[in-house]
Amino acid sequence: MSDDQLKANTPSIPLRKPYGSTDLISTKTPPHHGRHSKDTKWWVVLNLAFQSIGIVYGDIGTSPLYVYASTFSNGIKHKDDVLGVLSLVFYTLTLLPLIKYVFIVLRATDNGEGGTFALYSLICRYAKVSLIPSQQAEDRQVSNYTLELPNKRVKLASVLKSSLEKSKFAKLFLLLITMLGTSMVIGDSILTPSISVLSAVGGVKEATSALTQDMIAGISIVILVFLFMIQRFGTSKVGYTFAPILSLWFILIGGIGFYNIIKHDTAVLKAINPIYIVEYFIRNKKDAWVSLGGVVLCTTGGEALFADVGHFSVRSIQVSMCSMVYPALILAYTGQSAYLRQHPDSASDAFFKSVPGSMYWPMFVVSILASVIASQAMISGTFSVVHQSLSLGCFPRVKVVHTSANHEGQVYIPEINYFLMLACVGVTFGFKTTVKIGNAYGIAVVFVMTLTSALLVLIMIMIWKTNIFLIILYVVTIGFVELMYLSSVLYKFSLGGYLPLAFSALLMIVMYVWNNVYRRKYHYELDHMISPERLTEIFTNKNMSRIPGLAMFYSELVQGIPPIFEHYVSNVPALHSIIVFVSVKSLHVNKVPAEERYFFRRVEPRKLFAFQCAVRYGYNDVREVAFEETLITRLKEFIQEETWMQIQTLSIGGKMTETGRESDREIEHNEISKAKQAKEEKLREIMEQEIEQVEKAWEEVGIVHLIGQSEVIASKESNVMKRILVDYAYSLLRRNLRQSEAVFDIPHKRMLKVGMTYQL
């Protein structure tokens, strides 16, 4: 039985305006926050653009430290190979980070939020592809839920939407590639700190040869451990603190690049001609194809750019990329190429060897700071991605600490932080060189880019309804380039490329196991919910006493009475005077306005004094500290609004009666008015009594929270794979991770666990 078949006959009122409003249906458009408004003042855009430099571009900005070392891992065999690689870098930077991400992908934000889950949420809101049937028609009334769609109707979009909605495999496949993209981003955040810090610290070899590679790796590990240990203090001032440092970094690498072009070889500018790419492949054949795995490292940070757009605005990121970041990177790579044309033996450490002697120590210090900033950006991004996954039921329960009162998106997750720290230390200790880490890094980067393109094509077809020829152009250009790079990095599987795939496989298994059992539990509750007849029987049972107070029963079920209630009454023959069945669910939207978050429905008949409450959050929302107080306030408002709607219905009914025969109207008018007035007074009296009861229960007796202490086991007829998934994998995760009361921060003194068994 689907949730749509379970809707109550009584009206359900989303809380939008206080009692007495004359507007039943919200007509307001999604709010344009200052950061995302189209008419944002130019100085605000410039301020945000400056801040974005400190958050968004650390990863791509530090890539000149190691790109040429990874590309020319076997040395430079021909002088013109430098021109071929520079041409590849130029067109790759232009095509992927600049054109694809800055001017195309950034259009696919979810109310200003970016990332893999934002793309998946857009698709889920347009087409019914979610595997959990917890959607309610009223969810579409949330102000920022509705998508702005083109008016034109395209047959291909309708066919694709219908195919996705009908195919369970397609729904599962969409979820899996979203999980894969998320796990690759987490893998990226393991490799970014390792390769960035190791590359920067390795520059000290230019000043002294006394340090061995093991010592450099040890210093890098100390810096990494320190970086992860300070994460718990939060990053609320990252933008203002780091922006000047990275701005200085881009000015320095651009200036030094320009200096090297003038000093060493201005002919390197010929690389803008793509014929040098063709000649490079003709000369080197397979080796040129393998070297693409190093070239693609110049695009690192494209996904971070998309994921961090929510902190700024699309226009501010476009301004900062085009005005500072892109020109500085082009100058930096061109300057290194000019140096390498004259010193082909310096490819293994091209960055620091191309730095003029007087600038060495300033560049060394700034490079260390820039690499730490790049690492910080990826770590913070990972916390945000895990938070999104957790909200949508795709990640096990972990503790989420909100580190800033002013910026809701800034979170810290202790378990993930320590996992990343151990992984980074292990990678740095195990590989020791940037060349080996670069082999692993490339796979993580290209996989995420390719998955983003796949989801973007779906959005182009279904939501944007883009011209089919433009979609084909995107696939044959950007899609082809990404597949070429993917084939190259996969070739390095045995040289370290297995590492991000192993990390991603482990994370995907964890995410899939948790999400699979989460879905199975929801369907179990849906199949075993209490029927209206059984509910009435429970409440009217003479042996069942009603005691003062308010009880909240928590479950995943958004409609219908969950089986936890049956288990409770079978063991405790007493019910509180007010019952609220609470379901906390996440919508496929980044934020739900606070005034639209609580959705109440009365459980009939009215004398039961029971309610259902769906508490709706976006995947980036912060849960209220004063949850109980807010819920009680919204419950009283619901009772007021429900009464007001019933009074309005009486008024409409009275007017319809008065439009009967003219001869009877005057005679019946007084009787109708008296009867209507009496009913209105009765309704108001009931409303006041119910609100008084709620206030009394809240202030004098208090709230009792009832949570299911569930044991999940596979049913007897389950196959071997299902038994392994449910009885072993899920049980292992559940025993070692946080329980729901720890996540919801429910007071232990007022919490009661109800034991029950799920046979899935």
Q: Which residue type is seen at 37?
A: S
The predicted pLDDT at position 5 comes to: 41
Residue 524 vs residues 346, 516, 556, 752: alpha-carbon distances, Å: 64, 12, 10, 22
The predicted pLDDT at position 9 comes to: 38
State the DSSP H helix or E strand holding residue 581, giving kind and residue range, or none if neither.
Answer: strand 574-586
Contact (CB, 8 A) for 460 and 466: yes
Which residue in 491, 562, 557, 578 sits closest to 530, CA to CA? 562
Two tokens, residue 211: 């340090």
pLDDT along the chain (760 residues), means of 10: 40 38 32 42 77 83 92 91 96 95 90 83 86 72 70 76 88 90 86 88 79 88 89 60 86 96 95 96 94 93 79 85 95 97 92 92 92 82 82 81 64 87 91 82 88 93 90 95 93 82 89 89 88 86 86 87 88 89 86 88 86 88 80 91 84 56 58 76 87 87 84 85 87 73 64 80
Angle at 191 between CA 735 and CA 239, to 5 degrees: 95
State the DSSP H helix or E strand holding residue 655, giving kind and residue range, or none if neither.
Answer: helix 627-658
Residue 406 vs residues 234, 302, 305, 742: alpha-carbon distances, Å: 12, 26, 22, 24
Contact (CB, 8 A) for 728 and 713: no
Query: DSSP for 164-212?
Result: HHH-HHHHHHHHHHHHHHHHHHHHHHHHHHHHHHHHHHHGGGGT-S---
Contact (CB, 8 A) for 135 and 3: yes
State the DSSP H helix or E strand holding residue 496, giving kind and residue range, or none if neither.
Answer: none
Whole-angstrom distance, CA of residue 76 vs CA of residue 692: 83
User: Would you give the end-to-end CA distance of the chain in angstroms?
Assistant: 17
pTM greater than 0.75 (yes/no): yes
The predicted pLDDT at position 314 comes to: 85
CB-facing half-sphere around the CA of 314: CA atoms within 13 A: 18
Angle at which helix 238-264 crosses helix 360-391, to 10 degrees, equals 130
Whole-angstrom distance, CA of residue 697 vs CA of residue 714: 40
Domain boundaries, the chain: 42-517, 531-650+673-759
Query: Cβ–Cβ contacts within 10 Å for residue 303, how many?
Result: 30
Residue 467 vs residues 158, 473, 481, 482: alpha-carbon distances, Å: 14, 10, 21, 22
The predicted pLDDT at position 555 comes to: 87
The predicted pLDDT at position 25 comes to: 28
Distance of CA 49 to the CA centre of its chain: 22
What torsion do the CA atoms of 147, 148, 151, 154 make, to the nearest 10 degrees? -50
Per-residue three-class SS string for 15-68: CCCCCCCCCCCCCCCCCCCCCCCCCCCHHHHHHHHHHHHHHHCHHHHCHHHCHH
Two tokens, residue 626: 């004063």
The listed CATH number (1.10.10.200, 2.40.50.100, 1.20.1740.10, 3.40.50.1820) that belongs to domain 42-517: 1.20.1740.10
610-617 and 598-603 beta bridge pairing:
antiparallel
